Amino acid sequence: MTAVISGTGLWRPSDSITNDELVASFNAYVERYNAEHAADIAAGVLEPLQPSSAEFIVKASGIKHRYVLDKKGSLDVERMVPRIPERPNEQLSLMAEVSVTAAKQALEQAGRDAQDVDAVICSCSSLQRPYPALAIEVQNALGAGGFGYDMNVACSSATFAIQNATDIVRAGHARSVLVVNPELTTGHLNFRDRETHFIFGDAAVAILIENAEVAPKGAWKILGTKLQTRFSNNIRNNFGFLNRGDEQFRDMPDKLITQQGRKVFKEVVPMVSEIVLQQLAELKLKPSDLRRMWLHQANSNMNRLIAERVLGHEASQDEAPTVLDEYGNTAGAGSIIAFHLHSSDLKSGDRGLICSFGAGYSVGAIFVQKT
């Protein structure tokens, strides 16, 4: 049985932050911190904090701008945390709400009603709550049937869920599987950390995976998928339900995302390019058979190297489009945003690769062909 991607959808917040705005807030915080701790810094007891710079951010990552849930709270030096009012249980939760918005677009693109969906997978790098599953809430809000469950594979959440959905369709357990990937990353971002404050943005995507027999023309046939994980502490978030058992460490910065960016860069570039090349060979495809690569959107220098290792030449924007300059790193959503925004111009028969990578480490590669 053949599985296809028959629709995608994207939600993004209306608030946005430029690098200059982000750096101004961070540097005001640094100035205040250093003034407040001037005596300890002068005595050599404490290191002064260093300012951030917009030039560094663009050069090191390619990020110029990001969409965020709450600009005011995130930039307010008194707070530096997005303000996200809690909702009563009777109201649709925030992550379900943004998922539903993206899902409706994906369904519309595929010409489907929610009643046609017989499974929902919600997969993202940080879930709003452990249970009931967000996927079940989305299923209920849409009026879909079947079953739903949540999963988390950090930045590879969407591609890993695409393989799950593909397997479900191929096994005949469902005809139409909706994957939603709500990435409200500023909730786990430390706006006071110079190393990471510029990295993330918020977005949600949805992908409809269907049995080719019921899918519309122009859907993307899934030629093959490859997932791989290798344990690393270099990207880590220690937030969890056991934190409350140790008050001393409960609110420490490691309960937000932390990473050793340089190590991640060095270790992940070869891992991803090797997996992609191996899988191409497995599928009896040449790198030149890839019309386009929709890569994970974390770092433009990283993507340039990966694309070059795979294709054998420097990739053009047309071959490997970038969205991180505008969206920042949207965790699992990045490669799907690139696919959603930059795939409608391809022709029947064109092949491409959706590829994510991130914490775990994890790599997810989905090879597709337009029908």
- Using CB under 6 A, list all residues that contact ligand COA: 52-53, 56, 60-61, 155, 194-195, 198, 235, 259, 261-262, 264-265, 298-299, 302, 329, 358
Quote the least distance from Cβ 65 to ligand COA, whole Å. Answer: 15
Q: In Å, what is the CA distance from 82 to each residue of 42, 186, 191, 297?
A: 33, 7, 10, 22
Quote the least distance from Cβ 305 to ligand COA, whole Å. Answer: 11
Helices and strands: H and E segment counts in the chain:
11, 13
**Does the annotation mark 155 as catalytic?**
yes
Q: Between residues 6 and 300, which has the closer beta carbon with respect to ligand COA? A: 300
Which listed residue (122, 124, 155, 355) is catalytic? 155
Q: Between residues 222 and 227, which has the closer beta carbon with respect to ligand COA? A: 227
Helix (H, G, I), strand (E, B) or coil at 329: strand
Please report how many Cα atoms fall inside a 13 Å half-sphere around the Cα of residue 316, on the Cβ side.
4
Quote the least distance from Cβ 26 to ligand COA, whole Å. Answer: 8
Q: Between residues 41 and 305, which has the closer beta carbon with respect to ligand COA? A: 305
Nearest residue (beta carbon) to ligand COA: 261
DSSP-assigned letters across all residues of 28-90: HHHHHHHHHTHHHHHTTSSPPPPPP-HHHHHHHH---EEEES-HHHHH-TTT-S-------TT
What is the C-alpha separation between 295 and 291, in angstroms, rounded? 13
Quote the least distance from Cβ 198 to ligand COA, whole Å. Answer: 6
In 86-202, the DSSP E strands lie at 119-123, 147-151, 176-183
Q: Between residues 3 and 323, which has the closer beta carbon with respect to ligand COA? A: 323
Q: Other C-beta atoms within 10 Å of 305: how many?
A: 17
Active site residues: 155
